[in-house]
Amino acid sequence: MRRAIYPGTFDPITNGHLDILRKATGIFEEVVLAVANVTGKSTFFSFDERVDICRRCCEGIPNVRVEGFDSLVVDFARKIGAVTMIRGLRAVSDFEYELQLALMNRMLDRGLETIFLVPDHNYLYLSSSMVRQIVRLGGSLDDFVPKLVEERLHKQFQVVDKPVSV
């Protein structure tokens, strides 16, 4: 079976991520969307929440499995038998980091190749951080994330922004 891994932080998952995922399922027999626990950055949603949100958003997409991991991506890919890693390329600004990551991962495991997929043009400027910013400022996320993600964002902002009572 040609199995691919699509790793990321997914903080939260957006329509851009889902677009890449759908494109990947047209190429591979199974795609494992792998949610990183240790990301090197502090996240808005907890690891468990990010995994849960991704699972719910991927429910209707055939041949997709959502897993959390807290090791090196190459080690997790080997563990699940993935031979290809999917990454999304938006603008030129993604390129340098993504190239570095792909080359480093190849040094760590020559058996895992990285493939870059490009999203539909309307997702080219969409990122998880942009989505968090829009919801913080009260904008509509209709075109950017599934309804469930928008609800979770609002809920989480109520928790985060609540004044601390003394």
Nearer to ligand ADP, 22 or 78 (CB): 22
Instruction: Decide if 13 contacts 145 (C-beta within 8 A).
Output: yes
Tokens of 69: 């991991």
Binding span for ligand ADP by CB under 6 A among 3-11, 22-30, 61-69, 146-154: 3-11
With left for phi above 0 and alpha for psi between -120 and 50, is residue 32 left, alpha or beta? beta
Q: Does 45 bind ligand ADP (CB under 6 A)?
A: no
Binding span for ligand ADP by CB under 6 A among 7-15, 53-61, 76-84, 105-113: 7-15
Q: Does 88 bind ligand ADP (CB under 6 A)?
A: yes
Quick note: the x/- pattern for ligand ADP over 114-153, rule CB under 6 A, is -----x---x--xxx-------------------------
Q: Does 105 bind ligand ADP (CB under 6 A)?
A: no
The closest alpha carbon to 152, from 44, 20, 69, 60, belongs to 44
Q: Does 94 bind ligand ADP (CB under 6 A)?
A: yes
The widest CA-to-CA distance across the chain, in whole angstroms, is 57
The closest alpha carbon to 9, from 65, 83, 61, 87, belongs to 87
Half-sphere exposure of 4 (CA within 13 A, CB side): 23
Could you list the residues that contact ligand ADP (CB under 6 A)? 8-10, 14, 16-17, 20, 39, 87-88, 90, 94, 119, 123, 126-128
